[in-house]
Amino acid sequence: MEIASAILRRGLLFVLSSPSGAGKSTIARMLMATDDGLALSVSATTRPIRPGEVDGKDYYFVSDEKFEEMVANGEFLEWAHVFGHRYGTLKREVLKVIESGRDVLLDIDWQGTQQLKQVDPDIVRVFILPPSMAELERRLRARGTDSDEVIQRRMDRAAAEISHWAEYDYVLINNDAEKCRELVHNILKAERLKATRRVFLHDFVREMIGDR
Ligand code: 5GP
C-alpha cells in the first residue's frame, strides 16, 4: 500500500514569537512563500486596523463586545492582552489548517505561547531576537506607523517580551531576514521528521517489516 508522505504524521503547531519590529512578520511571510505545507492561523484582535492591512487576512478585526462574546463561546485556543488590545487564536482557524493537511504557523506573544503549551505540549516554539535594542527602535521608527509615545511603549513591551526567550525551544537572532528564514525553515523541516510526531508511520513500517 502506498501511503502519501503527507499523512505520515499529524500537523504541528509552529509558534513564532518576537518583540514587534524584530522582523517576525517578514520571516513568517517568507516562510509561507517557500513552504506549501505551512499556513498561517489568522488571529482575531480588537486593535484598530492599520493602513495596508486586510480584514480576514492579517487579522479578523472585531469590536470589544464581539471579542467578549467569542471568549464566552469558547472560540479561542488562547487569548491575551497585548498593548491594551486583545488578541486570540481561533480554534476553527487552527482546525481548518490541520484538516487541510498542513502545519500551522502562529504569530503570537509569550502569553499565548504559554497557554498553547498547556493545550498541546507538542508545539514547537521559536523566538526571534533583534540584533540589538537600538536596531529594534530603528526598525520600529522606519515603519512610520506609530507615534513616539507608542514606540516608547513598544520598546518597553519588547524588553518584557524578550525576557521570556528561555521559555522557547529555539532562539535565533535576526541579523539578516533571508538567513533567519532559512534557519527557521530548517527547524520546521527537522521537527516534521521527529520520530515521535510520525504517528502513522507505525502502520507504514509494520506493513514493511511485519510485527517484530
Ligand atoms: P501587532 O499588533 O503588531 O500585529 O501584534 C502585536 C503582538 O500581538 C505581536 O507580538 C503578536 O505576536 C501578538 N499576537 C498576534 N496575534 C496574537 C494572538 O492570537 N494571540 C496572542 N497571544 N498574541 C498575538
CATH code for the domain in which residue 187 is found: 3.40.50.300
pLDDT digits (tens, 9 = 90+) for 187-208: 999 999 888 777 666 676 777 7
Residue 202 CB burial class (10 angstroms; 0-12, 13-18, ≥19): exposed
Q: Has residue 48 been placed in a domain?
A: no
CB-ligand 1 contact for 93 (6 Å cutoff):
no
CB-ligand 1 contact for 111 (6 Å cutoff):
yes
Can you name the residues that pair with 90 across neighbouring β-strands?
76
For the chain, the domain total comes to 1
Read off the pLDDT of each residue in 21-39 and give the average, rounded to a whole number: 93
Residues whose CB falls within 8 Å of the CB of residue 1, separated by 6 or more in sequence, listed in order: 207
For ligand 1, what atom is nearest to the CA of residue 115?
22
Would you state the pLDDT for residue 202? 66
Q: Has residue 28 been placed in a domain?
A: yes
Range of the domain at 34: 3-41+103-209
Residues whose CB falls within 8 Å of the CB of residue 37, separated by 6 or more in sequence, listed in order: 6, 101, 102, 103, 192
Q: Has residue 72 been placed in a domain?
A: no
- 128 vs 31: CA distance, rounded Å: 14
CB-ligand 1 contact for 43 (6 Å cutoff):
yes
HSE-up of 108 (CA within 13 Å, CB side)?
Answer: 35
Q: Has residue 149 been placed in a domain?
A: yes
From ligand 1's centre to the CA of 183, what distance in Å?
22
Q: Record the cell numbers describing residue 160, joined without a space.
A: 518584557
Amino acid 168 reads Y
From ligand 1's centre to the CA of 119, what distance in Å?
18
> Buried b vs exposed e over 165-185: b needs ≥16 C-beta within 10 Å?
eeebebebebeeeeebbebbb
pLDDT for residue 175 is more than 50: yes
Q: Has residue 14 been placed in a domain?
A: yes
The residue contributing the CA closest to ligand 1 atom 22 is 112
Residues whose CB falls within 8 Å of the CB of residue 116, separated by 6 or more in sequence, listed in order: 13, 15, 77, 78, 89, 106, 108, 123
Q: Has residue 200 been placed in a domain?
A: yes
Name the pTM for this structure: 0.89
Read off the pLDDT of each residue in 154-172 and give the average, rounded to a whole number: 95
CB-ligand 1 contact for 106 (6 Å cutoff):
no
Would you state the pLDDT for residue 78? 97
